[in-house]
Structure formats: structure tokens, C-alpha cells
Structure 1
Amino acid sequence: MSTEVIKAAKFDPAFRAEVANLVKGFDFGNCLACGMCTAGCAYSDVHANNDPRKFLRKLILGMREEAMNDPYYWLCTMCERCTIECPMGINVAAIVRGIRGTTNEAFSDDPAKKGPGFMVKVVEETIESGNQMNVSQEDFMDTIEWVEEELQAELDDPDYKIPLDVEGADFMFGFNAREIKYYPQELQSILKIFYAAKANYTISSKKWDATNLALFSGNDKDFWTITKPLFEEMERLKAKELIVTECGHAFRSCRMGYRNFWDKESDYKFPIRHILQLMAEWIKEGRIKLDPDKITETVTYHDPCNTARKEGVYEEPRYVINSFIKNFNEMYPNKQWNLCCGGGGGALATPEYKVERLAKGRLKADQVIKTGAKIVIVPCHNCMDQFNDINKEFKLGVKNEHLCALIAEALILDEK
């Protein structure tokens, strides 16, 4: 049996201090080395280099070279499943994000190494174009006009207009650039629901993408460069609230950006809510009515880590589901104890780790199979891409849907 020799002379106490400074209020002395983080990580033994306890020990001992050459901090999906098991509440995801963001500045011997290339490319394009799909202003307006015409026909309302840049609305809607570039029918479904609820809302023509991949790359300067213009549009248009589409990392980015930056920089205050929180409110108030006989298949629901565990939104989606879907089977575990789908933490933007991502997906596939569901509600675009890959890889034969798409399908419109 071979034993790996660790030379104490290589330990670097300064490295431990540098890492501790990445996360405000973090103290390595709190780590008990108990292994509960590894026990809480569903994927610690699914593939190599995915053990949070081992990685933390490298940091605590000051093993700079070993830690910074460890693929763990890119393989970790930053889901925080380990954190809710930690008796000391150590947020491994925050440490991982901090290290990702400073890899080429403080720790790396290779200043050209900025992390996975595709993730960096998307961040740079988002800064340049204002959205992660690099959609031009002309293409954005063309798509908005197309969706508007489609809704005029569907609603039999030739006067229908998408409210762009309206001041003083009850809320501004921030969505995912995929809903412009690839899935405009999903945007159409959401706006149809807004129409049925007679919502007083607006969409900014300048900054409408709420997503931010710098949440995963870890660079705070890039992060705030991307999210700040969305909040500036809130202030410019004097919107009372920001509603974010079904996208876990967009929702988390907006909430985190508000707490960490905007709240300290601006006097213009506003709440930020997930669209499914708004849907639950409208259903309770009777502003939208849904046909309980429309969705007949067995349905299950996936809790995105950024929405459920990190931001506490998991009861409202279930209220919405139970209000009109008769056959709903839960995955277990669920809510704040859910299993990450394997696509979080920017895993979809790191194609070099696709094998590990799909290995994680096996556990989620098993969860879906046990529910017997034919429809999987996946209220997050990153999770949706992962679920689509899981569906193909493990031949599940299910339909993956956003919840708003099912709401729009079951929507009962008032007669004119």
C-alpha cells in the first residue's frame, strides 16, 4: 500500500490567509474536519476530485500548489448541499466562487489561465452586448415584434402591445436571453399570462437579460458590470418591483447583486421576486384561472439549487402546481434538501467536464424514474439544459417543461 508524502515545508500559511479573505467573515478555525460536507455532497463519490473535505484540508494546511491544481473548484456545482449539513455553517460554495474569481490574480502561476474558456467567453460577450446570448439590439426588437404579432393573433386582440420602457409600472420583467434567441415561444407564454392577469408591467428595451455567468466565474467586477445596468433600468423606469423569470442563476444573481452592491450604492429600493412567487400570488387572488383538467400526465418538480436552497423559494411553486395539476409526485429528497441536477455552478459552460456532469445526472435520472412522471417541471434554464441531456443520456422519455408553459397551457381567458 503506497502512502502519499506531504512535506510540511511546503505549507504556506499566507495562502490560508488569502483564501480566508475571499469570503467575508470566514474563519478556517470553524472547520472541524468532521467530513459532514462530504457526507452531504451527493456526488462526492460519483466521480474523482469531488470531495469538499479534502479540498478544505488543502486550504487549511496552506497547500497552495495542491489546492490550485485540484480540479475540485471547477467540478463543484456550488449547490450548497454540503453547507446545510455542516454543523459550523461553512459555505464551501462561497469559498469555491472566491477561488475561481482570483485564480489568475492571486494564486495561479499562469496569468493567462482565466478558467474554462467557454465560460469566460460568455462573460466577456455579456459585458460587450448586454446579454449572454450576444443578441443584437436589432434582433431583440425583431423578436419582440414577432412575439407581439403572435400574441395579437392568439389573443384575438389586434391592439395588444408589449409594454416597453413604460415608467411607473408595478414591476419590470427580467428574463433569460435564451427566451429571445432560442425559445421566444416561452416568452410568449409568460406574456400571455401577464395579459390574463391584466398586469401593469414593463420590459426594458436596453437591459432585459437578468442572467449573469460571472456568478460562476467568480469575478465580482465582471459580475457587477453585468447586473448593475438591470438595476439602473429599474431606477430609470421607476418600476416598483423586479420580477425574474424561471432561471435559478438569474434570480440568485439579482438577489446577490442587490444585497452585495446595489443596496449600498443607491437610494432606490425595490423587492426582487421569482416569477413563480408572482404566479402563486395571482392564483390566490383569482387574477388568473387555470383548467384542472388540462394537464393529465403525472408530473414531478425539480428544485433548482439557486432558487430553493439558496433563496428559499420552494413552497410557492408547489402551491401553483397543486392548484391545477392532479397527478403530482415529488422527488425525494426535495425543497432545500434537493439534489443538484449536476448542471449548476456553470457546469453547462465547462464542456471539458461533460463526463463528470453527466455522471452526476445519473442520480437525478434515478429520482425522476422513481416518480413515474411523464412531465418534469424544471424552473431554470441551466437545469433545463442539464435535464434535456439527462433525458437523452439515460433514455427517460419524459417531457421537460417550465412551469409557466404549463400555466399558459391551462390558462382560462376571460371572454371579451
Structure 2
Amino acid sequence: MAEPIRVKELDPTLREEVAGLLKGYDFSNCLTCGMCTAGCKYSDLVEDNDPRKFIRKVALGLREEVENDPFVWNCNMCERCTVECPMGVNIAAITRAFRGKTAMPPGHLQHIADDHINTGNQMAVEQIDYDETLEWLEEELQKELNDPNYKIPIDKPDADFMFGFNAREIKHYPHELQTILHVFYAAKANYTLSSKRWDATNICLFTGKNDEFCEISRPLFEEVERLNAKELIVTECGHAFRSSRVFKRTYWQGKDFPVRHIVELYADWIKEGRLKLDKSKNPLPVTMHDPCNTVRKEGVYEPQRYVIKHVVEDYREMNPDGKYNICCGAGGGALAVAATKQQRMTKAKPKVDQLIATGAKIGCIPCHNCIDQFNDMNKFYKLGMKMHHLSTLIENALVPDDAPEAPAAE
């Protein structure tokens, strides 16, 4: 039998306090219908992962219980529950508000935030290492492109866009940045990188600490303003894209400019004929994951599908897709909380089932956070698949300018 709720344990001020933290999100319309739990793929897989129980504790004013509820950090903040909610209650926003009240977030989350504030990027890459990595990439691209005059544009004023990326593309996976810059070259893009602030990620999207969130994102936006770029293009990272969009909508008061995901730019270039592609170069069956921060939360769904259908021969959709997609299980900063590795693999099972059902040999994962989870689940569940970003598939399909046109598909 459940423990009785005692009236003296209820704090009627909690609702108002949480409402003040949510900045526009309203949870007072909750009907206690349980559709949030029905929509959550993890409520039956992981203990203390029931959104209905959590929001009822908030509504009742069970302050001590809710502030110590494991749900706060178990939740992946994927908003799959909100899609099913008839009243549109955003439980992820409530979760984030309670995270912001936590003095020391679990795992490496606070360490990542501190590094970003102190060094300008989440992985504490020093300026000399950043500069030398770009110099090395420039040399590699000169050889790859057979263009000894190729230069990576840095601090170029009045460019069409400034490119914001992920520190992992400098510290651990520079070949991924090389791939993107190759695609930029093929499209004859007028862009720039910043010499100062280039990391578009912001771990405080997950810790809920709004003052630190602003301290991390503001310098990136100030660089766009300083260089007078027409827009900010964010790399294949749902977390970086979402945090940049949130900062722009909620906090930025400087020059107005669009913030777009790189897949939107790729789609434009294909429509304009700026990328010459031969999808027969990607003959294996491919499926694509919809990152929660990109698709469900920010509504970018069609551009990546337009792109992938132009770069692979055999595209297979997962079901469900779009805003109803299943989170990979690593959202909400779970990758930085080491204790959740087994939990992440448990939560990965619904996505694994989706992958297997498609029969695809390649998973296209347009998100840095998600692809790390997919690589882990690939090994854990012995799927034998290849996992690639969309940029890699585009680069594979590129045709040199002097090559003949590929025959049209019949």
C-alpha cells in the first residue's frame, strides 16, 4: 500500500515558484490523465522514470520529495511526453527547472560547464591547439582538394554565415570538421570561422543554470555580431542547435540574425544546384534518426529528408518518425553522467528495435550527442551497422565539377 500523503507535508508555494522558473511554460492545465506516461518510452523500462508521478508531486507541493526525486536526472528531457499531452504541458521544462536548483549536477555536467566558461569551449581546448588543428586541416584539405591555395576563412567580415561547431570536432574528431569544410568548398560557400568563440554547444541546456547558460552562449553571438555575418549556422549537433535557438529567442538583445541547422543549409544548396551529387556512391540501405532537440523541439524535419533522398540510393524511414520519434536514450546530458551507462543501454532498446526493423546497414545520425549513443548501442547490441553523420554521406556523394552528370534515375 502506498504511503499516505499528509497535508502538513504539502507546500502550496511550490507551484508558484516553479511557474516563475519556467519562463512561459504553464503546467497548471495538467489533467492528471497519464498520457505523458503513455508517451514516455522509458516509464516501463527504468525505475523512477514516470512523468505523471513527477508532475503530480509538483502540483501537490511535495517539495522535499520532488527535489530529491531521481526522475529529475533520469528524465532525458526528450519531450515525447509533451507530444501526447492533450494540454501541451512541457514536463522537460519542469525537469530543467528542478535541475537548476541542484547545487552540484551529477557526473561531469558541472565540470563541462566550468570548462566552457573558463576556456571558451566545453573541452578546454587551448587556443594554440585550436589554431594548430585548423592549420593541419587546411594542409590536409589542400592535398585532398588538389588546391594548394585553399584557405580556411577565419575572422572574415561580412560573410554569408559564421559556422559554430562542437569542440569534439577539434579535440577528438577533426576529420568530421574536415568533411564539413570539404562540403563548404564544393558549394563555394562564403563563410567564416571565428578565431575566438566557435563552440556552439551549451551543457547548461541540461543543467538548468540560466546564468551560466547565458555566460556560455553570449560570446558566440557576439562573434557573429563582431564579424557582421548574415546568420549563424550550427553543426550537426541537436544540443548546440537547440541551445543557440533558445538563447537567441530568450536572451539575445544584439544584432538580429537567423540561427539555422546545417542540414537546412545543405538542403538549400542542393535545391540551388550548388552541390553536384551522385547518390549511387551510397548504395547501401540507410535509415535516419530524428534527434529530439532538432526535430521534436525545433521543428527541423523536412530539410534532412530532402538531403538524404538526394545522397543515398536506398533510404528507409524509421517508424515512428518526426515529432513522434523515439529518443536514442542519451538526451538530457545522460552521456556526461557516467553512472547511467547501463541505463542508457536499457533505454536504447526501443531505438535498436526501430533500427533492426528497417533492415538498414547504415544509420544516419545528424547529431553529435546521438551518434555517440548509437555507436555505444551498436557495440552493446552487436548490430554490425555503420553510423555516419549526414555530412559524411554528402561528401561520399560529391561529384567533381569537371565530372559528367550522373544519369537520371528512371
Shorter-normalised TM range: over 0.9
> How big is the shift at 1:272?
0.9
Return 197-206 or 5-14, whichever deviates more: 5-14
Structure 2 counterpart of 1:289, from 270, 276, 279 = 276
Aligned pair 1:143/2:142, yes or no?
A: no
Aligned pair 1:372/2:359, yes or no?
A: yes
Q: In the alignment, which residue of structure 1 is the partner of 2:260?
A: 273
Q: 1:406 to 1:53 in 2, by over 3 A?
A: same
Aligned pair 1:194/2:194, yes or no?
A: no
Q: In the alignment, which residue of structure 2 is the partner of 1:411?
A: 398
- 1:167-246 aligned at under 5 Å gives the runs 167-246=157-236
> How big is the shift at 1:28?
4.0
Aligned pair 1:302/2:289, yes or no?
A: yes
CA–CA distance in structure 2, aligned partners of residues 243 and 95 of structure 1 = 29
CA–CA distance in structure 2, aligned partners of residues 28 and 259 of structure 1 = 21
CA–CA distance in structure 2, aligned partners of residues 363 and 27 of structure 1 = 30
CA–CA distance in structure 1, aligned partners of residues 183 and 215 of structure 2 = 31
Q: In the alignment, which residue of structure 1 is the partner of 2:36?
A: 37
Extract unaligned runs of 5+ from structure 1: 105-113
Aligned pair 1:70/2:69, yes or no?
A: yes
CA–CA distance in structure 2, aligned partners of residues 99 and 66 of structure 1 = 12
CA–CA distance in structure 1, aligned partners of residues 400 and 290 of structure 2 = 29
Q: Which amino acid aligns with 2:87?
A: M
Q: 1:326 to 1:58 in 2, by over 3 A?
A: same
Partner SS for 1:286: coil
Aligned residues: 403
Contact 2:116 2:122 survives alignment (8 Å): yes
Q: In the alignment, which residue of structure 2 is the partner of 1:108?
A: none
Structure 2 counterpart of 1:394, from 381, 393, 397 = 381
CA RMSD in angstroms comes to 1.1
- 1:21-170 aligned at under 5 Å gives the runs 21-104=20-103, 114-170=104-160
CA–CA distance in structure 2, aligned partners of residues 250 and 26 of structure 1 = 22
Q: In the alignment, which residue of structure 1 is the partner of 2:298?
A: 311
Return 350-359 or 334-343, whichever deviates more: 350-359
Aligned pair 1:253/2:243, yes or no?
A: yes
Identity among equivalent positions (%) equals: 60
The TM-score, its normalising length taken from structure 2, stands at 0.97
CA–CA distance in structure 2, aligned partners of residues 255 and 27 of structure 1 = 20
The TM-score, its normalising length taken from structure 1, stands at 0.95
CA–CA distance in structure 2, aligned partners of residues 326 and 160 of structure 1 = 31
> How big is the shift at 1:27?
4.1
Q: Which whole-Å deviations, capped at 9, do the CAs of 1:310-334 have from their partners, x for residues lacking one? A: 1111111010111121111111100
Q: Which whole-Å deviations, capped at 9, do the CAs of 1:122-144 have from their partners, x for residues lacking one? A: 11111111111110000000100
Partner SS for 1:412: coil
Structure 1 counterpart of 2:324, from 309, 318, 337 = 337
Aligned pair 1:358/2:345, yes or no?
A: yes
Aligned pair 1:347/2:334, yes or no?
A: yes
Contact 2:311 2:393 survives alignment (8 Å): no
Extract unaligned runs of 5+ from structure 2: 404-410
Q: Which amino acid aligns with 1:405?
A: T
Return 2-11 or 212-221, whichever deviates more: 2-11
> How big is the shift at 1:44?
1.1
CA–CA distance in structure 2, aligned partners of residues 143 and 175 of structure 1 = 14
CA–CA distance in structure 1, aligned partners of residues 198 and 214 of structure 2 = 15
Q: Which whole-Å deviations, capped at 9, do the CAs of 1:228-269 have from their partners, x for residues lacking one? A: 00100001000001111000000001100000011xx22x11
CA–CA distance in structure 2, aligned partners of residues 415 and 127 of structure 1 = 46
Partner SS for 1:30: coil
CA–CA distance in structure 2, aligned partners of residues 126 and 361 of structure 1 = 29
Q: Which amino acid aligns with 1:178?
A: R
Q: Which amino acid aligns with 2:49?
A: N
Q: In the alignment, which residue of structure 2 is the partner of 1:12?
A: 11
